[in-house]
Structure 1
């Protein structure tokens, strides 16, 4: 018989702590399509794909760098 493995999921708090970023950073990455969490009510549920994307694309906000084109960053215009 095959075992059914449940896919690992992460909360926004778990990913923020793991990558040393703010919840706003993860929400921004969701806005631009880098992350695609599922929703359960008002909660975001991130999957292994989202975690790997963060690992391969370290959040620039952790280094104090805002993404290019961000309207809140006057130097990006």
Structure 2
């Protein structure tokens, strides 16, 4: 019987990321190649585990992960753009 998961290295581990599917940002905690099948036929998928602001982790396909913007735009910065 094979293992049901395997850790995968990723360039954004422990960095702030955004899940493009949900728009939620958090810290990428792990990328794991998991057997996601609930039948006898194996189906492997790379899942990203992201820890959100609440401290809870959620999963998404690793293809949905992108770096989050470094600095959120401040209200003062947005006001300055509107008046330009």
Query: Which TM bucket (shorter chain)?
Result: 0.3 to 0.5
> What is the TM-score when the length of structure 2 is the normalising length?
0.31
> What is the TM-score when the length of structure 1 is the normalising length?
0.33
Which of the two has greater helix per residue? 1
Which of the two has greater strand per residue? 2
